[in-house]
């Protein structure tokens, strides 16, 4: 991922088409969603190396927020919407950013409609002990907080990022050489 902006407001990164990525997969290399939701959280995990497919995504991680916002475009840069990934507040060091997914997500359309995603998976995560009921309540409260930001059209939704475009001279970055993975997997993305 290429850093677009890094300041007191947060971190913005560009995940270009065909960028190599590491992501969790099942212990046998299958996609997490290849099994029912309850099994997804009971099964062992491994690391898969793949590539990002689609038109690329701009990721915005506001400082201190328990979520990030991913902007998606379609053909010809037609803006599709904002994907809100609920997650731990980002921890950073000199070379990396660490967070943990909270399963529940939101989709915000250009007309500002908000749809909750993966509620069934969050319930399965609680049922299997991956997250507690209290954790799930906190994640839902975080989602309602994002809904309030959308309702008042606050940052980062109102910041005009949907007009942003990557520098055409940028090359697709490689994974750092010290990373390890268990499987090569199919591309993912929007």
The position carrying tokens 């590539």 is: 51
- CA dist 25 and 49 (Å) reads 9
Map out the domains of the chain as residue ranges: 2-165
- What is the rounded CA–CA span in Å between residue 99 and residue 63? 13
End-to-end Cα spacing for the chain: 15
**Is the CB of residue 59 less than 8 Å from the CB of residue 12?**
yes
**pLDDT tens across 135-175, in order?**
999 999 999 999 999 999 999 999 999 999 999 999 999 99
- Class assignment of domain 2-165? mainly beta
Q: Which two tokens stand for residue 59?
A: 């990721």
Is the pLDDT reported for residue 35 higher than 80? yes
The pLDDT score that the predictor gives to residue 190 is 61
Mean pLDDT of the chain: 94
CA distance 165 to 77: 9
At residue 2 the predicted structure's pLDDT band, cuts being 50, 70 and 90, is: very high
Q: Is the dihedral of CA 148, 145, 101, 118 positive or negative?
A: negative
Q: What percent of the chain has pLDDT over 70?
A: 98
- Number of continuous H segments (helices) and E segments (strands) in the chain: 3, 12
Q: Give the pLDDT band of residue 94 (cuts 50, 70, 90).
A: confident
Strands 183-184 and 10-15: unpaired
């Amino acid at each position: 991922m290429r850093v677009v902006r890094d300041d007191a407001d947060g971190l913005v990164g560009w995940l270009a088409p065909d960028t190599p990525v590491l992501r969790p997969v099942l212990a046998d290399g299958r996609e997490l969603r290849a099994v029912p939701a309850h099994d997804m959280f009971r099964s062992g995990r491994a690391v898969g190396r793949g590539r990002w497919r689609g038109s690329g995504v701009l990721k915005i991680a506001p400082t201190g927020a328990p979520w990030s916002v991913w902007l998606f475009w379609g053909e010809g840069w037609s803006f599709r919407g904002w994907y809100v990934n609920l997650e731990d507040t980002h921890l950073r060091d000199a070379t990396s950013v660490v967070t943990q997914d909270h399963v529940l997500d939101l989709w915000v359309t250009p007309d500002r409609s908000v749809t909750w995603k993966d509620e069934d998976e969050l319930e399965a995560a609680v049922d299997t002990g991956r997250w507690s009921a209290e954790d799930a309540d906190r994640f839902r409260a975080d989602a309602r907080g994002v809904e309030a930001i959308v309702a008042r059209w606050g940052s980062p939704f109102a910041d005009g990022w949907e007009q942003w475009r990557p520098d055409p001279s940028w090359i697709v970055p490689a994974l750092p050489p010290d990373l390890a993975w268990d499987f090569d997997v199919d591309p993912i993305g929007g």
